[in-house]
Every structure is written in structure tokens, then in C-alpha cells.
Amino acid sequence: MAEMEYAIKVRNLKKSYTKGRLILDDVSFDIPAGKIVGLLGPNGCGKTTLLKILSGCIHDYSGKIIINGNVPGVVTKATTAFLPDTTYLSEYFRTIDAIDYFNDFFYDFDKVKALEFVSRFNLDPKQKIKTMSKGMQEKVQLLLIMSRAARLYLLDEPLGGVDPAARESILNVIMENYAEKSTLMLSTHMVNDLESTFNHVLILGHGKVLVNTAIDNVRSSGKSLEQVFKEVIGNDWEVD
């Protein structure tokens, strides 16, 4: 298969925060382009670290990474949309400031679409981030990311800590608005709820890739994704 048909190619990726403990231990995998990838694994298995490395937020690692044919840098950042699991906007920003900021720097950002999201989410474009609730801040961050026509979306726990109704709404926004033919990697603990959404799955555990396959292969085994997850993770699932 040609290089450009893979959204992500990772070879021998190693990452540790403290000496002697590898959070990612010689990890290698490929993710075909155009897939909706579920990034699964117990807490501390390296999901967030992997997403941070792919998005360019962590530079201190060894190994080789290719994103849509390029090593991580200015080119990949221009085509990768990353939603971290934390509030990253300046507290002085108003929603409209954040939209203008993204519009200035990302050529694939659609300002009209972003403003439509503002109305849809009932947000005040002139309200400052610091006066918003956590849920409102998450909506602003989500609308910024989903207003981009990126080639790769990296979403870190976008459904964590929200009620079921909001979860469904957020998932709809993601699925309705990610750019066609792009790749979407979404980390989550909600294995059961999202099984039907994914068409590819990457399970990390003990610093290794435990499963990297199309969801059809999981289904053809006659097991649910949750069953496969519990099997490969073993006891770690219980402490999760």
C-alpha cells in the first residue's frame, strides 16, 4: 500500500516521563486514511500521550512518526485538528476572539460554520471564556475544532464527564461535521456506547499496541468490542 494511504504511521515509538518507566514501549502501528478510529485502553496506558505526540505537543520521544506523508511539524499541524482533554483557550478570550484566532492561523477553518455552531449551541459570542461553565468551554473548543476541514482529527476524551444527553449531542456534532475522507481518532472509555461509531480500533495497554484492526474483524470474531477489550486488557479493566 502506498505511503499516502495511511493517515498515521508509527515506528518504534518510545516515550517515558520518568526514568525506567516507558509509557509507550516500542510502539509501531499504521492507521489507514479515512477511518474513524477508537483509541481505547485503561487509564495511564498512553492514549493521551500518543495523541499529544501526534499533535505536536510532546517533542521528547524516540521513534518515527509519519502523518499523512509528513513528519510532525508545520505541515502536519496545518492539517491536524487536536482537541485536548483540558481547557486550552486564554481566559481573556471571548468566543468571537477564539474564532478570529483560529481563522487567522488555520487555512482550513470555516468561520461561517463556526458562527453557526455558536448559534446552535446558544453561546454568546461576546462572553469571556473565564465566565463560562466547563460545559460551555468544551462546546467552544469543540466548535473550533469541528469548524476545520482537517485531514486528521485527534479528539482526547471528548465525551468524558458529560451527561448522556450532551454526550449524544456532542457525538452528533463530531460525526456530522468532520471533513469527508479525513481520519478521526477518538480516545474514550465508553467502549460499548461507541462501538457502532468506529470502523477501526486501536487498543493500548502496558505501553504496547494490543489490538489494531478494522472493527469488522472484531465483529466477525463473534464478540463485541467490549468483550475483546476486556480480554486483551485483563485485570487492568477492573481498576479502570
Residues in contact with another protein by CB under 8 A are: 17, 52, 55-60, 74-75, 77-78, 80, 82, 84, 86-90, 92, 101, 104-106
Q: 207-228 burial, b if ≥16 CB within 10 A, otherwise e?
A: bbbbbbeebeebeeeeeebeeb
Nearer to another protein by C-beta: 66 or 203? Answer: 66
Nearer to another protein by C-beta: 33 or 78? Answer: 78
Nearer to another protein by C-beta: 90 or 131? Answer: 90
Task: Find the shortest distance in angstroms from Cβ 88 to another protein.
Answer: 4
Pick the closest to residue 37 from 194, 192, 168, 180 (CA basis).
Answer: 194
| CA separation for the pair 96, 152 (Å, rounded) | 24
Nearer to another protein by C-beta: 17 or 240? Answer: 17
What is the DSSP track for 145-207?
Answer: HHTB--SEEEEESTTTT--HHHHHHHHHHHHHHSPTT-EEEEE-S-HHHHTTT-SEEEEEETT
Task: Find the shortest distance in angstroms from Cβ 5 to another protein.
Answer: 23
| CA separation for the pair 95, 127 (Å, rounded) | 6
Task: Find the shortest distance in angstroms from Cβ 164 to another protein.
Answer: 27
Q: Residue 168 phi/psi, 5° resolution? A: -65, -40
Nearer to another protein by C-beta: 132 or 228? Answer: 132
Cβ–Cβ < 8 Å for 178, 184:
yes
Task: Find the shortest distance in angstroms from Cβ 95 to another protein.
Answer: 14
* Burial class of 5 by CB neighbour count within 10 A (0 to 12, 13 to 18, 19+): exposed
Nearer to another protein by C-beta: 81 or 173? Answer: 81
C-alpha cell at 48: 493521551
Task: Find the shortest distance in angstroms from Cβ 58 to another protein.
Answer: 5
Task: Find the shortest distance in angstroms from Cβ 213 to another protein.
Answer: 29
